[in-house]
Amino acid sequence: MKTDNTASYKKGEMITVDITDFGENGEGIGKTDAFTWFIKDTVIGDKVTAKVMKTKKSYGYARLESIVNESPDRIEVKCPVARSCGGCTLQSLDYKAELRLKQNKVENHLKRIGGFDLSNVEIEEIIGMEEPIRYRNKSQFPFGRKNGKNITGYFAGRTHSIVEFDDCIIGIEENKTVLQIVLDFMEKYSVEAYNEEDGSGIVRHVLIRKGFATGELMVCIVINANNLPHSDNLVESLCSALGNDLKSVSININKKNTNVILGEKTVTLYGNGYIEDYIGDVKFRISPQSFYQVNPVQTKKLYSKALEYAALTGKETVWDMYCGIGTISLFLAKSAKFVYGVEIVDAAIQNARENAKLNNIENVKFFVGKAEEIITGEYENGNIRDIDVIVVDPPRKGLDKLAIDTMLKLLPKRIVYVSCDSSTLARDLKLLCEKEYELKKLTVVDQFARSYHTESVVVMERK
């Protein structure tokens, strides 16, 4: 068994490694002298043996074989398919240690990528979950065939090979009931799952959503056909099992050879085609296609912190530059003079306008288009004057240069930045704080427990 890199490593070779760090995807990192190894399913403090899978010049990937000495932060994995599924990369890590890891990750990115001296920043304690299980309000399960029978589960990491199971512990308990009903229905009526290789079969995915505040449930069957045979029998079975909580059953038609889950057409089989839920006291109407945060309990905490950082008194004009279906915009509107939301996806803006009406919120206006173009045009046309606060919650890739340049031209008093990727957050903050702004506060929120992803919110004030 090798413990140094005096010679090249070969695939299948066994190594012994002390795990001293975590990688960007939650995998353990260790070294044999100057050679770095990335080993999934390991925890800082573990001493492990691993099998070499792939090597580069100065680093490689290995698969965990056995644990020689356990880390004090290692816990028993609750999910039976955690290793093969790969969705929850931190299942083996004690939750308190997970929170420390995420806090350190964000702070280190701000220091290393952003170049910030955090001694001048008010850093609040990470907001964790009371119970880091059963928190996802949305799940999408692929269907396939194995040994002549229909199966469901999740795709193994970076593959389209289905790991067969029926109960994800970070998903809702009703998932198991729904999946079993669908599988029984398919068996009874000889409805086959979709086959990616030859394009045959019907059922591709089942999407399940739940309103945590309302208890309302939605089931959407994604099919490779124009209709689902005997769908009335499936609806009857779902209604019988889920009772009054079931508010919507639909089929979504996707006959394209694509990795995109949902097609463009959805047909409602039962109910109104949507469910409703609350974040705080703001009600949202959610369709199968709606973007809606998957952890509503933590989302309320995240948005409450964003609202606190915006420091609204009722006199401010606020721009929400990536508003989606209006979740943050409507949350802020109750404390602001007026809120403008911008989103490039037309369907999301339609949802945002509907949600504003649903809540009788009139001090908001939503625009479809690129945020930097809309906000600049409205400003230059004289439609808006002073901009007090800009709120941004961009996708993982962060802000593009034009968006940053726009904010630096408009110079609001405060910028609240909600981020799902602390590396791009640090990069963007560096540009914003070069001359005009000062980073004042940071809070990390554990939105995705048991995975390496996390959310954070910061506020910058004009110097």
Q: What is the pLDDT of residue 105?
A: 94
Last residue of a domain, one of 247, 279, 311: 279
pLDDT of 5 reads 45
SS3 content of the chain, % helix, strand, coil (to 5): 25, 30, 40
Q: Is residue 269 part of a domain?
A: yes
3-state secondary structure of 87: coil
3 state SS of 34: coil
Last residue of a domain, one of 53, 69, 85: 69
Q: Is the pLDDT of residue 102 over 90?
A: yes
Q: Domain for residue 3, yes or no?
A: no
Give the CA-trace dihedral at 289, 294, 297, 298, to 10 degrees.
-130
373 conformational bin, left if phi > 0, alpha if psi -120 to 50, beta if neither: alpha
- Annotated binding site, which residues? 293, 322, 343, 393
Answer yes or no: do 349 and 457 share one domain: yes
User: Average pLDDT in the 242-248 region?
Assistant: 98
| Domain end point (choices 229, 251, 279) | 279
Annotated binding site for S-adenosyl-L-methionine: 293, 322, 343, 393
Each residue of 53-98: pLDDT tens digit? Answer: 999 989 999 999 999 999 999 999 988 888 888 788 899 999 999 9
Q: Is residue 286 part of a domain?
A: no
Instruction: Indicate whether 201 belongs to any domain.
Output: yes
Nearest to 84 by CA among 54, 64, 66: 64
**Based on the domain organization, do 34 and 172 belong to the same domain?**
no
Residue 2 has a pLDDT of 58
The answer to whether residues 23 and 111 belong to one domain is: no
Helix (H), strand (E) at residue 416 = strand 414-419
Domain total of the chain: 3
Which CATH number fits the domain that encloses residue 58?
A: 2.40.50.140
Q: Where are the alpha helices (DSSP H) in 283-341?
A: 296-310, 327-333
Which residues are the active-site residues?
Answer: 420
Q: Is residue 362 part of a domain?
A: yes
> By residue range, what is the domain housing residue 55?
13-69
Residue whose structure tokens are 């229909």: 150
In a domain, 288, yes or no: no
312 within 8 A of 248, measured Cβ to Cβ: no
301 plus 435 within the same structural domain: yes
Q: Does 274 share its domain with 422?
A: no
- Does one domain contain both 163 and 256? yes
Q: Is 64 inside any structural domain?
A: yes
Residues 121 and 156 placed together within one structural domain of the fold? no
Look up residue 358 and give its amino acid.
Answer: L
